[in-house]
Amino acid sequence: MPNADLAVILQVLQVISLLGAAALASKLFATGLWKHYPIFFLYLVFRIPNTAWPLLLNTSSNLYQKVWMLTEPIAWIFHVLIVIELYRLVLSKHRGIYTLGRWVMYGALAVAITISILSLLPHIKPHMPQQTKYMGYEFAINRGTHFALAVFLLVMLFLGSRFPMALSRNVLVHAAIYTAFFLADSLAMFLRTLFGLAGSNAISACVVALQCACLAAWLILLNAHGEEVRTNFPAISPQRERNALRQLESLNATLLKASGK
């Protein structure tokens, strides 16, 4: 497909994404769900102008690059805080495991970002413009942050599937959709690194389309009643559930004792 057509499709998808974020933020506010997911709500509020400004600027302009460099670190912070919020919701009754996992995530972020920056250093030349160097470092930090958070989300879902936990339907829905939402963004980062600018529009269009689908799923599935409906995940036999819960409580108590809480 010609790049001109892809650019038009991408713009249409970005408009749909903007409207979807606005509709979802409005729904969370109207239903009171923003109190349960405050960081996610604030991210949606931030996402509205952050999706709008790229539609107004030429992607090859110097101003576009400067605005991107200013807004991208805010997006990193939101992604980290949303994962922490999600992790806290899943393990709200197991503070010991939650505390350990949070520090593991911080450590993984530091390691992934450091490795990503070190891998970039051989490509940074002294004669490069300063803005180009800064953008390179931001791409490296972006790549490291996405990789670490993506791995952490997948590990969290895997471990969550091993132990039965009574969670609200909204938390389960939110965890599943946000993981897909974030992994789509992470995959785009990997593909852009692999293929460069050649397939940038096609990759972006696919990612924004997936994110629009996630926004639609949140709009349809998240509701006030979903906070009251408790769901055991995963569904296993009563005997295995009791054994798994004992193991989970034992691990949580050990970690709380080790942390002095």
Domain segments of the chain: what residues?
A: 3-259
Confidence (pLDDT) at 3:
63
Coil/strand/helix, residue 231: strand
pLDDT at 34: 94
Cβ atoms 195, 203 nearer than 8 A: yes
Q: What pLDDT, on a 0 to 100 scale, did the predictor assign at position 258?
A: 59
Tell me what pLDDT residue 42 has: 97
End-to-end CA distance of the chain: 59
The pTM (predicted TM-score) of the whole model is 0.82
Q: Using an 8 Å Cβ cutoff, are 173 and 222 in contact?
A: yes
Please list the alpha-helical segments (H only) found in the chain.
Answer: 3-31, 38-56, 62-90, 95-120, 130-162, 169-195, 200-221, 238-259
Spans in the chain with pLDDT lower than 70: 1-4, 92-94, 96-98, 159-166, 193-199, 231-261
**Which residue has 């996402």 as its token pair?**
47
CA distance 179 to 177: 5
Q: Residue 40: what pLDDT?
A: 96
pLDDT at residue 100, as a whole number: 72
For residues 195 and 160, what is the distance between their CA atoms, to the nearest angstrom?
34
Instruction: Tell me how far apart the alpha carbons of residues 57 and 33 are, in angstroms, rounded to a whole number.
Output: 34
- Per-residue model confidence (pLDDT) at position 168: 84
C-alpha to C-alpha distance for 31 and 214, rounded to whole angstroms:
19
Residue 216 has what pLDDT? 96
Asked if 168 and 230 touch (Cβ cutoff 8 Å), the reply is yes
Find, among 44, 46, 38, 43, the residue nearest to 85 by Cα: 38
CATH number of 3-259: 1.20.1070
Element (H, E) at 122: none
Query: What pLDDT sits at residue 175?
Result: 86
Residue 108: predicted pLDDT: 83
What angle do the packed helices 3-31 and 38-56 form, to 10 degrees?
A: 150
